[in-house]
Structure 1
Amino acid sequence: MTETLAQAIARAGSPVALLRNAQSRPTVFPVTPEFSNWRSEQLAWRTSVALLDQSHHMTDLFISGPDALRLLSDVGVNSFATFQVDQAKQFIAVNHEGYLIGDAILFHLAEQSFDLVGWHMVLDWVQYHGETGDYDVAFERDASSAVRQGDPKLYRYEIQGPNALALMEKATGAPVPPTRFFGMTTFTIDGITVRSLRHGMAGQPGFELFGPWAEGERVRSALIAAGEDLDLVLVGSKAYSSANLESAWVPSPLPAIFSGEGTAAYREWLPVARTGSLAGSFDSDDIEDFYLTPYDLGYGRSVAFDHDFIGRAALERHAAEQKRVKVTLVWNPDDVAAAMRSLFEPGIPAKYIDLPKARYGQHQVDRVLSDGKDVGISHDVGYITNEHAFVSLASIETAFSEPGTEVEVVWGEEPNSHKPAVEPHRQVTIRATVQPAPYSAFAREHYRTT
């Protein structure tokens, strides 16, 4: 019998106790870790062109039927007033109290047909409301290759970098038609019809190509052949998992599903296996202290109060009382080196810092301090070769968000939890400097224009 989240919380005693010691491992990207090395692969999307395979690590939730758009509008904070076929958007949902459930990319494939793609947190929330509400909709879920049996339904390839446009024109043998940011178009590659989403990763020109799985290898081979004289670089999971640090997207904030109106029945519905783990130095017995609003992560531009949706009234209050903003924290190199050096010194070392991505739970939440006072939380963390910097994405109080502000990040857990990725270690404090998000000036200036 599948254990539900509600049953697991009862067994553990509290949501925090469950998540702190969850035996699930950090997020797995079930593709080749490195084709060359992750440093060169990170450089590729800034200096030439990178080919990334997204076919395996994300979940697709296909939503169809006469009420599909109404369901999405009822659950999502986005506006759907002009959402047409061949458009996409970053879909965002909150709970009844206006706290973030999660985000994913929503593709409008055809009339009454959508594909919601990303981590499962927000996909689960949408499916639950569709199945338990008064909606004439149908769902087809294609989980990631980490849990699915058999091949994916779709291939999904990412082409990113200054040579991306030239690669697409060479692979298709035709000029690339003008396409707006997050707009879709259709290409022909080696005689195969390929759908494409136009967007940028880390501010670089980009295309996300997708189609039936059976055609994927032929499309991939054609792209590799076309990229031979364009410095095409195949990118593995290590480099790909760190790309969000440049574009400043926080991939897995803790979903606000453990308290509030309407969530008790959801926890009875949700398998605990899809809950993940909680890591980091921030600790509280109250799970709500880990919740975020969309504004904490810079999603204000996507919120539209032109329709009714779950959490609208509460989110309007959050909009009027925004307390945190998203920033990049650039960690002090000497302090990072000292933490790493502790592995070679007697005694208990600092928490291991992996590269290029250092998070050790699905939901990474570390304390950010100023003069010993908590002023925010640090999320995803890792190294950016293109900036020669070790950084984290953070949500911090507005008063401490000015670039150049000095803060400290507490790294490691106290007491140590029992997660598989946690070894005996001691907490350390690492100095950090507040910088904009995205950190890269190119990404800040060009992300939505390429």
Structure 2
Amino acid sequence: MPETVADAIERAGSPVALLRNAQARPTIFPVTPEFTNWRSEQLSWRTSVALLDQSHHMTDLFISGPDALRLLTDTGVNSFANFEVDRAKQFIAVNHEGYLIGDAILFHLDEDSFDLVGWFMVLDWVQFVGEKGDYDVAFERDANSLMRDPGVPPKLYRYELQGPNALALMAELTGAPVPPTRFFHMARFTIDGLDVRSLRHGMAGQPGFELFGPWAEGSRVREAIIAAGREFGLVLVGAKAYSSANLESAWVPSPLPAIFTGEAMAEYLRWLPAARAGSLAGSFASDDIEDHYLTPYDLGYGRSVSFDHEFIGRAALERHAAGPLRTKVTLVWNPEDVASAQRSLYEPGTPAKYIDLPKARYGVYQVDRVLAGGADVGISHDVGYITGEQVFVSLASVDADHAEPGTEVVVVWGENPNSAKPAVEPHRQVEIRATVFPAPYSSFARENYRKN
């Protein structure tokens, strides 16, 4: 029988000990790393049109049956009023104590039929609740290509078109002007004679379309996109650039899920395979796993929380909502301090933790200390470089008193002591000055994300 998370915690001694030294690699996208170079590919969704392949790095959980919507309503903090077929939403779930388990994109495909797409953390929780509860539902899981059985293709292709030329390219592909479609609404198009479903959304404030359909038709759709895209400056985007796109839209992709303590979690951890526990990285090193938990408000999800229905964790989340609350911000790291950390690789002595580009995470859950006046005022999440702004940034959750743009803080980079994770080499901690900016960092993205 495969090891469960409960087994792994017992072996390691505690959740923190397990996650700190987990041998899981940082999250990677199993597609071509670079088609040209990640800098030019990053720029493409701002200046022309980018084609990004989402088919391999996310998991699909297909949920169907007469109780499918009731299950989603019971586990999601979102409002499901008027959630009709051909709509989508960012689905957010919390534990019984109101702490964040995770988020994913929920597609309403048909009557009593849904597809929950994203990292597996929140998908696992929804499936567990559905299997253990009194729900008439069926699940079909299509794991990402790192976890799927070798030789088995994905069920769906999923391509993303983003950038100022996306609308014109879609018109060329479909042979007609693109009809107005509201943000996170779906539509159907015909591309090269094939029926293609599309989700309307945006990235970094630019117009975008997420196209999906049966895997067997994916290569034909992709070839049609590439052929039509030549006159619009289409750029193929690889894993390196794509993995950094969230820094521009200010989405934190993998916050540590609050699953290791609390009501119903003992049974859940006995159900959950150890391979999906993840790994914990960064300078924030409390031995109490609950110190790493977040609320939806810490990540800017307050606008998605709706108390118009009963759901797991509602009462606790209402208490969290009463404050005090942290604010999601962008931290722009001081260029001299970043360069100093990188320069330490060429100097005598133990260097600073290696800073990779464009994304510098070295665990599934990246959690670094944010200080002001020597005191902890928040945590820093994803870290990386934005070519279009020429800044090195991280997304962070900070106390309200330190969330004002222009506030000076310090990020502690590196682990002490060094953990045994594969991506961790002998290194020393360093302090890097940073300045608070809004999230998203780009004013264009902040003002145009939902508009487009």
Q: TM bucket by the smaller chain?
A: over 0.9
Task: Give the distance between the partners of 1:161 and 1:21, measured in 2 at CA.
Answer: 40
Deviations 1:301-342 (A, max 9, x none): 100000000000000011111420100000000000000000
**1:319 counterpart residue number:** 321
CA contact (8 A) 1:86 1:185 kept: yes
What pairs up with 1:29-428 in 2 under 5 angstroms?
Answer: 29-149=29-149, 150-428=152-430
- The aligned amino acid for 2:365 is H
Shift of 1:81: 1.3
Shift of 1:28: 1.7
Task: Give the distance between the partners of 1:380 and 1:326, measured in 2 at CA.
Answer: 12
Give the count of matched residue pairs: 450
Q: Which runs of 5+ in 1 are unaligned?
A: none
* 1:72 counterpart SS class: helix
Deviations 1:107-132 (A, max 9, x none): 00000000000000000000000000
Deviations 1:250-281 (A, max 9, x none): 00000000111111110010011001100000
Shift of 1:63: 0.2
* 2:311 counterpart SS class: coil
**1:431 counterpart residue number:** 433
Deviations 1:230-264 (A, max 9, x none): 10000000000000000000000000001111111
**1:12 counterpart residue number:** 12
2:449 is the alignment partner of 1:447? yes
Deviating beyond 6 angstroms after TM superposition, the runs of 4 or more aligned structure 1 residues are: none
Task: Give the distance between the partners of 2:324 and 2:65, measured in 1 at CA.
Answer: 37
* 1:229 counterpart SS class: helix
Task: Give the distance between the partners of 2:282 and 2:210, measured in 1 at CA.
Answer: 33
Task: Give the distance between the partners of 1:427 and 1:334, measured in 2 at CA.
Answer: 16
TM-score w.r.t. length of structure 1: 1.00
Task: Give the distance between the partners of 1:322 and 1:34, measured in 2 at CA.
Answer: 43
- The aligned amino acid for 1:186 is R
Shift of 1:449: 0.8
Q: Which runs of 5+ in 2 are unaligned?
A: none
Task: Give the distance between the partners of 1:297 and 1:179, measured in 2 at CA.
Answer: 27
* 2:440 counterpart SS class: coil
* 2:231 counterpart SS class: coil
Deviations 1:170-195 (A, max 9, x none): 01101111100000000000000000
Task: Give the distance between the partners of 2:347 and 2:217, measured in 1 at CA.
Answer: 53
Deviations 1:84-142 (A, max 9, x none): 00000000000000000000000000000000000000000000000000000000000
* 1:346 counterpart SS class: coil
Task: Give the distance between the partners of 2:219 and 2:373, measured in 1 at CA.
Answer: 54
Using the TM superposition, name which of 260-269 and 102-111 deviates more: 260-269
* 2:283 counterpart SS class: coil
- The aligned amino acid for 1:18 is L
Task: Give the distance between the partners of 2:205 and 2:75, measured in 1 at CA.
Answer: 29
Deviations 1:126-173 (A, max 9, x none): 000000000000000000001212100000000000000000000110
- The aligned amino acid for 2:3 is E
CA contact (8 A) 1:295 1:322 kept: no
Deviations 1:347-396 (A, max 9, x none): 10000000000000000000000010000000000000011000000000
- The aligned amino acid for 2:92 is I
Task: Give the distance between the partners of 1:92 and 1:22, measured in 2 at CA.
Answer: 26
Task: Give the distance between the partners of 1:17 and 1:88, measured in 2 at CA.
Answer: 38
* 1:285 counterpart SS class: coil
- The aligned amino acid for 2:430 is V
* 2:285 counterpart SS class: coil
Deviations 1:392-447 (A, max 9, x none): 00000000000000000000000000000000000000000000000011110000
- The aligned amino acid for 2:279 is S
